[in-house]
Amino acid sequence: MSLIAGAGLSAIGDSQRAGAAATEQALAALGGVPPKLLIAFTTEQHDQAKAVRGIRAAGGGAPMIGCCSGGLITAEGHTPSGVAVLALGGELEVALSIASGLSTAPTASGEQAAEALEPLLACAEGQHNLALMFADGLTGAMAMDSALSSISAVFGPLCPILGGAAGDNLNFGHTSLFANDVIENDAVALALLRTGASLGYGVHHGWKPTGRRLVITASEGNIIHEFNGRPAFEVYRQQIAQLGHAEQLHTVSRFHPIGFPQMGGEYLVRLPFGVTDQGGIKCIGALPSHAIAHIMEGDPGSLVEAATVAAQQAMRGVEGKPVAALVFDCVTRPPLLGERSSEELARIREVVGQDVPLVGMYSFGEFASAEGAPSFHNKTIVVCVIGQ
């Protein structure tokens, strides 16, 4: 038997009933085939423990991983409050882990979570690995970046790592991660899959370089101190006409992130969010040192097109008819798309197939092995497609 999948969504207010209802709907599509993995996303309006209890009870104890998100993505569209579940059955082996202490010991946290799953990395001919990664998005991008690097060091280059950072509905208060019955914050959770099914994924954002090329001449961690030997904010402000004072950076930078060209011609994007007293720019995520950079721009059209590109990239890795799709979409993208936000999902479904079970989350950062190396992304959409 190849893989089989089903998706479920519930907007019931009672958290335990919502978890159970979404799971039951997903399992119904399996036609009695036992689930091997449940991937679950919730929102902050729910009691997370009760939602997990409902999922676990309805799932009959099947392995379950997931997190609280900034919103749900299903075939029905964007849902700001609810529980969504993707159930996978058939030829699939799964191992789960969760490790706390992400904010204080991110490297150790990532290593602990990854090393617990190492035995499943051994693949026979014709088998593939896929790692799903979820991390507390409120701990900070630098911690998540460090954890991702340590996980990648354990799993190696042949295991793609995909996922999203847990969050809330942009209240930046509290979030949760789940692995079976364990519920944590300040943690990283992993699911390692081994299957003979084909796997494909795509990563795109739709942001394009503008203005002259810049060189980072001084940086540290997530702070760009200088572009071309001058204070970074001064240079950034000169290229963005509508930006006057540092207090305006957060508003303007949503439309003008900073991009770094990669080997394959794409750009790794970082969102500026603050200015230091010395005129440096604080960004969400680690920065390449002494790198070339561009200030980026985009519009609803280019952002929607990114969903098409990511889905097309994912489909290139799939053999036969797709069985299921996962989507990790940055929580900052829908506000920029406005009335066109529903077009992202429509584009993905046009490429993947209207009847393919699909579940996703709006994330506080995305994890994806773009161009071979796993990276932490901002303002990006990641599509994973599982084939037969």
Q: How far apart are CA 185 and CA 201, in angstroms?
A: 27
What is the percent of the chain with per-residue pLDDT over 70, rounded to a whole number? Answer: 97
Q: What is the pLDDT of residues 224-246, one digit of tens each?
A: 999 999 999 999 988 886 555 55
- DSSP-derived secondary structure letter, 33: P
Average confidence score pLDDT of the chain: 94
In the block, tokens 């003008």 appear at 256
Alpha-carbon torsion 114, 117, 122, 126, what sign? negative
Q: How far apart are CA 207 and CA 263, in angstroms?
A: 17
What residue spans define the domains of the chain?
A: 4-203+303-386, 208-297
| CA dihedral of 186, 192, 193, 194, whole degrees rounded to 10 | 180
Q: How far apart are CA 383 and CA 380, in angstroms?
A: 10
Contact 40, 83 (CB under 8 A): yes
The encoded tokens of residue 168 equal: 């809330």
pLDDT at 284 over 70: yes
Its pTM stands at: 0.96
Task: Please give the helix or strand (H or E) that residue 347 lies within, else none.
Answer: helix 342-352
More confident residue, 249 or 7: 7
CA distances to 211, 227, 258, 287, 294 from 215, in Å: 13, 5, 12, 12, 9
Q: How far apart are CA 358 and CA 345, in angstroms?
A: 10
The CATH number assigned to the domain with range 208-297 reads 2.40.10
- DSSP-derived secondary structure letter, 99: E
Once rounded to an integer, what is the mean pLDDT over residues 167-186?
94
Contact 225, 278 (CB under 8 A): yes
Q: Which residues contact 102 (CB under 8 A, 6 or more apart)?
A: 109, 135, 136, 139, 143, 144, 147, 186, 187, 188
Q: What is the pLDDT of residues 144-164, one digit of tens each?
A: 999 999 999 999 999 999 999
What 3-state class would DSSP assign to 179?
strand
Length of the chain: 388
pLDDT at 31 over 80: yes
CA-closest candidate to residue 65, choices 54, 50, 79, 55: 55
The radius of gyration of the chain from alpha carbons, rounded to an integer in Å, stands at 20
